[in-house]
Chain A
Amino acid sequence: MNAYVGTPTSRVDGRAKVTGAAQYAGEFQAAGLLHGFVVTATIARGRIVRLDASEALRVKGVVDVLTHANRPPLADDDDAWKDEVAPEKGSPFRPLYDDVIRFNGQPVALVVAENWETAKFAATLVRIDYEQDGFATDLDAKRGHAIELDKPHKPRGDAETALNGAAVRHEADYVIPTEHHNPMELYATTTVWEGGNRLTVYDKTQGVQNVHKYLCSVFGKKPEDIRVVSPYVGGAFGSGLRPQHQVVLATLAALALERSVRVVLTRHQMYGLGYRPMTIEHVALGASADGKLDAVVHEAIAVTSRHEDFARNDTGWAEQLYRSPNSLLSHKLVHLDVSTPCDMRAPGAASGVCALECAMDELAVALKLDPIELRLKSYSERDQGEDLPYTSKQLRECYARGAESFGWNRRNPAPGSMRDGKELVGWGMATGVWEALQMPVAVRIVLTANGHAEVSCAASDIGTGTYTIVAQVAADALGLPIETIDVKLADSTFPQAPVEGGSWMAASSAHAVLAAAEDIRQELARLAKAMPGSPVGSVDIPDLVLVDGMIANGNDKSRAVSIADVMRHSRLERVEKQKLNQFAEDKSHARNTHSAVFAEVKIDEELGVIRVTRIVSAVAAGRILNTKTGRSQIMGGVVWGIGMALHEETVMDHRFGRIMNADIAEYHIPVNADVHDIEIIFVDEPDHRINRLGVKGLGEIGIVGVPAAIANAVYHATGKRIRRFPITVDKLLD
């Protein structure tokens, strides 16, 4: 029965969020709560030679100032600090571990006081002398120092020869700047001292069990000593995948002082966390005169920290999208004196596909081909890197539906040819692609005799809608109204879940619910059959279904018995089942989501002001569990794409290795007035192979392709190619 799956169900946590009842990490109360304020380094590389906290300590209400010199013990091997998504290679940053400064903005002390204002004031009184070493933060300047990753994509054919012999070729660098996630909620942890050395840690994170394991290993604690809880997360977008500075600092202070401690980072301090790394994307495409791709070369040169090798798949996406007999793909890193980058919405793809899809547009212009036609000429039915077919790929349909809705056939291809009054009009398009991943997740379902079910799982809902889709799938699988389903998430003591990321949680959690619900069904079916005079006594267990609070013969629903009667008769107050999802091992197919994005920009010819007046995004992502929250996720990705195209850039003053716009006014993100018509089309994409429900996930695909579609629209409006993002007025008027 599908009363809920696939419908536009409103968020089950909606009421909590619109009334202010939803509690976030920095909002949990504890008796005698202390407040920590972080002091950060003001140099990019070097050593603390003197740290004087005496003046801060004299402030009334200050309890302690914790530094590398007086902190409690911390693990001293890298493995203890490697969380489940830490880069394989490198040495994770350890807050307050030693006197070494690795990046500007690094936490170097925590002032703990009876209230927040006092801690904040006293933090200004901590005096630090540094010994500064030479440092480098400029990727453009250090490009020549790039080191190739030791796991390159396998080259196919001979791309360089093919490129040299191509009838038409296009080659250019595209530059994606460093970007920061800037979730609305400040990073916060409230660590509650429970006595007896036990801690409850309310943390802003995308993975409570990841943080739990990390804290246990960093502080040498037994698993039962620490519980990590995070019922609501005010946005994260990848920044909460790894445990962040404040959770170490709050917990360290709680252990040192045997008190409850809250640490909230300021917006400014959040720029010392991870970020989307700046990359220089070099793309070279060669095609035959009739527009078939013959060579793809894509090299990414990305920033990482000096202490960790963070790298994502920027350059592999052409293998998925475009048939080409020759390809050469590589990823290089430049080690700089900065904090380690981290995943940010569609990591790798948002940047790499942006470059690829701008390059494809430039190639289409060189070939005098329509951009869609160019893409269809090299449409790939296989993942060429793995040489596999797809479980499903309705990208052709995305192009067709998106183009139709946008009105693409009315486009005059000549740049600068379309106008609306004094504004130039540009129409551009691009393709998007992401992976459809699924991970081990378990849920526990407790069905009680009153017809309610509690569904629990350690997974987080970072705004993605996990609470709601888990409730929908459970309601359908148990045959109960959604109002009777109580979903509990993000407690490290709940059944296992990985971090919420990579767009894998919808498929993974939904199938865990199905697995646990199936065990509930079997148990109830056995009990129902065993009742004396049971109306379903002769029905085989596989034929019994849960529907409308009954256990019924699936072939004849009039033969049924109520779940309440079965439980009463069996003298059961509750039926409890916990199960891990099971996905069949299948390496015979590639799994991806796809999109076609169409953008309209209007540009004031004299002032260069760009407005994105329309976006149509046609998405093929398997079955959509919730068309309402799913549409919102894609829309959010589109808004991120507008930001990436036109607004977002973390600006570094390389003389000091310091970020100059470390706030949310100077770092521009789209505001309401920047966002106009966005149309989301979910293309029908039945997928019977990927998993039982045919679900692929939606968190990342929404952003991919959007920046390129806008950049291509800007070119169409103006004839100008801006290859260094974001596309700002000064670049357009230059």
Chain B
Amino acid sequence: MGDATHDIPERTPVHVIVNGVSHTLDLAPWTTLLDALRDHLALTGTKKGCDHGQCGACTVLIEGRRVNSCLTLAVMTDGAEVTTIEGLAKDGTLHPVQQAFIDHDAFQCGYCTPGQICSAAGLLAEGRARDADEIRELMSGNLCRCGAYPNIVAAIQQAMSRS
């Protein structure tokens, strides 16, 4: 099927380093980083909860900064280093935030969890949160419908105290 009435725009090569591995992807320019990760690199740990930057489930780290990957076109990340949930553990050892999430039962269904953990890892790097109130405020871009928020705060406090 399909003639030239609505041709999809030409594809663009995008070079991106994900979890330390270099990839060159051939993407339609409207492809988001989120869809590039999930559909083109089969890294489905990064979740789609709204596709509108409202829920934070798609949070990844770009050059160490936490970003909603659904609001980021993949072409914008050309040459950038992206860290997803799959890249946080090193040599089988969980990142302190991942371990703290298990210790404090900071999730139930697990769907917002990769975004929460990436966001928390970014928060630690920012060094802005000093107490529970500040953690709550600075983690409010990541929704959790299971309502694990107090456990998420406790987990982040544990990770903060050990980093």
**Which DSSP category, helix, strand, loop or mixed, fits chain B's interface?**
loop
The answer to whether A678 touches B109 (Cβ under 8 A) is: no
The answer to whether A234 touches B105 (Cβ under 8 A) is: no
Q: How far is the CB of A33 from chain B (nearest CB, A)?
A: 9
A-B contact pairs, 26 of them (CB 8 A): A15-B94, A16-B110, A18-B113, A19-B89, A21-B45, A57-B2, A58-B1, A59-B2, A59-B6, A59-B8, A60-B4, A60-B6, A60-B7, A60-B8, A116-B35, A122-B6, A183-B111, A183-B145, A184-B143, A184-B146, A632-B148, A635-B147, A635-B150, A664-B49, A665-B54, A669-B145
The answer to whether B35 touches A117 (Cβ under 8 A) is: yes
**A237 on the B face (CB < 8 A):** yes
The answer to whether A673 touches B140 (Cβ under 8 A) is: yes
The answer to whether A463 and B147 touch (CB under 8 A), given A20-B44, A27-B38, A125-B6, is no
**B131 on the A face (CB < 8 A):** no
Residues of A near B66 (CB, < 8 A) are none
Instruction: Across the interface, name the chain A residue whose C-beta is closest to B28.
Output: A117
Residues of A near B30 (CB, < 8 A) are 117
Residues of B near A321 (CB, < 8 A) are none
The answer to whether B150 touches A678 (Cβ under 8 A) is: yes
The answer to whether A633 touches B108 (Cβ under 8 A) is: yes
The answer to whether A463 touches B109 (Cβ under 8 A) is: yes
| Other 16 A-B pairs with CB < 8 A, given A234-B47, A664-B49 | A17-B107, A18-B114, A19-B88, A23-B44, A24-B44, A24-B111, A59-B8, A61-B2, A122-B6, A184-B55, A234-B109, A264-B48, A463-B108, A664-B54, A671-B149, A672-B153
Residues of A near B107 (CB, < 8 A) are 14, 17-18, 463
CA of A677 to CA of B154, assembled, Å: 11
Q: How far is the CB of A459 from chain B (nearest CB, A)?
A: 15
Q: How far is the CB of B33 from chain A (nearest CB, A)?
A: 13
The answer to whether B150 touches A664 (Cβ under 8 A) is: no
Instruction: Across the interface, name the chain B residue whose C-beta is closest to A675.
Output: B149
Q: How far is the CB of B126 from chain A (nearest CB, A)?
A: 16
The answer to whether A20 and B114 touch (CB under 8 A), given A117-B30, A184-B144, is yes
Q: Which residues of B in the span 26-81 have a Cβ within 8 Å of any Cβ on A?
A: 28, 30-31, 35, 38-39, 42-52, 54-55, 57
**A63 on the B face (CB < 8 A):** yes
**A570 on the B face (CB < 8 A):** no
Number of interface residues of A (CB under 8 A): 74
Instruction: Across the interface, name the chain B residue whose C-beta is closest to A10.
Output: B102
The answer to whether B149 touches A19 (Cβ under 8 A) is: no
CA of A473 to CA of B101, assembled, Å: 23
CA of A116 to CA of B152, assembled, Å: 33
The answer to whether A62 and B47 touch (CB under 8 A), given A17-B107, A116-B39, A463-B108, is no
Instruction: Across the interface, name the chain A residue whose C-beta is closest to B88.
Output: A19
Q: How far is the CB of B19 from chain A (nearest CB, A)?
A: 10
CA of A465 to CA of B55, assembled, Å: 23
CA of A462 to CA of B105, assembled, Å: 15
Residues of B near A638 (CB, < 8 A) are 147
Residues of A near B117 (CB, < 8 A) are 18
Residues of A near B111 (CB, < 8 A) are 24, 183-185, 234-235
The answer to whether B108 touches A58 (Cβ under 8 A) is: no
**B112 on the A face (CB < 8 A):** yes
The answer to whether A672 touches B139 (Cβ under 8 A) is: yes
Residues of A near B110 (CB, < 8 A) are 13, 16-18, 22, 232, 234, 463
Instruction: Across the interface, name the chain A residue whose C-beta is closest to B95.
Output: A18
Name the 7 nearest CB pairs between A and B, nearest first. Answer: A20-B45, A639-B147, A234-B111, A463-B109, A17-B110, A463-B108, A636-B147
The answer to whether B50 touches A663 (Cβ under 8 A) is: yes
CA of A410 to CA of B149, assembled, Å: 28
**B3 on the A face (CB < 8 A):** yes
The answer to whether A636 touches B85 (Cβ under 8 A) is: no
